[in-house]
Amino acid sequence: MKRVGIKDVAAAAGVSATTVSHILNAVEGKRINPDTRQLVLEAAERLGYLPNNLARGLRLSRSYTVGFLSDEIATTPHAGQIIKGAQEAAAERGLLLLMLNTGNDRELERKEIDLLLQHRVDGILYASMYHRMVEVPEQLRSVPTVLLDARSDDPAFPSVVPDEEQGGRTATRELLAHGHRRIGFVTNSDDIPATSGRLAGYRGALAEAGIGFDAALVSADRSDAQGGYRAAHRLLDTAQRPTALFCFNDRMAMGAYRAAAELGLAIPGDLSVIGFDNQELISENLFPALSTVALPHYEMGVRAIAQLQAVIDAPEPAGGPRSQEVLHCPLVSRDSVAPPPRL
C-alpha cells in the first residue's frame, strides 16, 4: 500500500516534480500557466496526495512539530484545558504537539528533551501543572522554549502565567460588593506564587475598600478539603466570626462547606463562600454551586503557542528579555455568595 508521492502527481499531470512543488506550495515569483496549475491540483486531489512531512522537514529543517513537556500531566484535571488550548492554537499554525511528561525526574527529563531534539521539534513548551518557579534545563537554550504556568529567574525565557494577585482581588471584591466587611481567608502555607499572590490580592481589595487587614481572619492549613475544613472551623468558631470566606482553592472550599454545615450555617444565607481554580468537578457539584475564580488554562495554552511562534519566527531579537505574559483570572459566579445576614 504505497503512498502517493509528488512524482506520482507529476506523472499523472504530465509535468515535473519541480512544477508540482511550485504549484502546491504557491511559491512566489514563479510563473505558472493557469491550465497547468489546474491540471496539477486536480491530479493531486484525485490521487489523494499528502506531502511526506519527514522528507519536507528534512529539506527545510523544520518538523512542524512542538514538544509539550510537562512535569506531571496526571495530578490535575486542569491539564486538559492547557493541552487543549495549546493543541488547538498549534493546529491553526499547522503544528502538532509531541507530548511528554517527566514526573519531576530530572534524569528522565534530560532524556526526553534529547528525544524531542532528535525529532527536531521546532520549539518546546515547558509546562508546569501548577504555577511555580522552575529551573530550566540547559539543553533548552538551544531550542525555542516557552514556560507555561511557570517562570524562571532567567529572563531569556518567555513565560505565560495566571495573574494570581488579580484573581485574589477579584474574589475578595466579589464578597465586598455583596456587602461583606469581615472576610476570612482560608489559605495554605506553601511558598508558591499562588499563595502569596492571592493573599496580596485579598489585602489589596480590602485596602481599596478601606478595611484594615486583620491577621486573625487568615487561617492557613493543607490545601485540600481536610485542611479547608480545619481552617474554616478555626475562623468560624470565633466570637466575631466572618460573614464570608475566601478560600485558596475549590478543594478547601469543599471543606469549608462541611464546617459550615456542622455549625448549622447555611450557604449563602449565613455564610458566603468563594473559591479559586474553578475545578468544575467540585464547584459545579457542590450544593449550592460554588462561586469561584477561574484559572485561564485554555487561554494559557493558546498564548504559550503564540509566544513560541514569535520566538521561532524571530530567534534572537538582541538577546533582550522576552515577554513575560500574565493572564487575567475571571470570576465565575454561581450560588455561594449573597449579602451578609442582617444582624
Partner DNA sequence: GACAGATGCCAAATCGTTTTGGCAGCCCGT
Partner DNA sequence: ACGGGCTGCCAAAACGATTTGGCATCTGTC
Residues that bind its own copies (CB under 8 A): 1, 50-55, 57-58, 63-65, 68, 73-77, 79-81, 83-84, 87, 91, 94, 96-101, 112, 114-120, 142, 224-226, 229, 251, 254-255, 258, 261, 279, 281-282, 284-287, 298
- Contact region for DNA (CB under 7 A) — 3-11, 104-112, 178-186, 254-262? 3-11
Residue 24's contacts (CB-CB under 8 Å, 6 or more residues apart) are 6, 40, 41, 44, 51
Rule CB under 7 A: is residue 17 a binding residue for DNA? yes
Question: How far, in Å, CA of 14 to CA of 159, rounded?
Answer: 51
Q: One-letter amino acid identity for 195?
A: T
Which is nearer to its own copies, 57 or 330 (by Cβ)?
57
**Paired sense of beta strands 331-332 and 292-293, if any:** antiparallel
**200 contact choice in DNA, its own copies, none (CB below 5 to 8 Å, kind-dependent):** none
Return the one option of its own copies, DNA, none that residue 117 interacts with (CB less than 5 to 8 A, by type). Answer: its own copies
| CB contact burial 279-316 (16+ within 10 A = b; e otherwise) | beebbeebebbbbbbbbbbbbbbbbbbbbbbebbeeee
Binding flag, residue 119, DNA (CB under 7 A) = no
**Residue number, 55 or 177, with CB nearest to DNA:** 55
Rounded Cα gap, residues 39 and 10, in angstroms: 10
Minimum distance between the CB of residue 214 and its own copies, rounded to whole angstroms? 29
Instruction: Give the one entry of DNA, its own copies, none that residue 114 binds, where binding means its C-beta sits below a cut-off of 5 to 8 angstroms depending on kind.
Output: its own copies
Of 40, 42, 2, 47, nearest to 21 by C-alpha is 40
Give the CA angle between residues 198, 201, 204 to the nearest 5°. Answer: 155
Q: Which does 133 bind (CB under 5 to 8 A by kind): DNA, its own copies, none?
A: none
> Per CB under 7 A, does 6 bind DNA?
yes
Cα–Cα distances in angstroms (integers) from residue 91 to residues 85, 88, 138, 221, 302, in the given order: 10, 5, 28, 42, 11
- Minimum CB separation from DNA for residue 169, in Å? 50
Q: Which does 96 bind (CB under 5 to 8 A by kind): DNA, its own copies, none?
A: its own copies
Build a one-symbol-per-residue string for 18-57: x at contacts with DNA by CB under 7 A, - elsewhere: xx-xx-xx-x--xxxx-xx------------xxxx--xx-
If we measure between CA atoms, which residue out of 284, 206, 221, 280 comes closest to residue 256? 221
Chain residues in the site for DNA (CB under 7 A): 2-3, 5-7, 10, 14-19, 21-22, 24-25, 27, 30-33, 35-36, 49-52, 55-56, 58-61
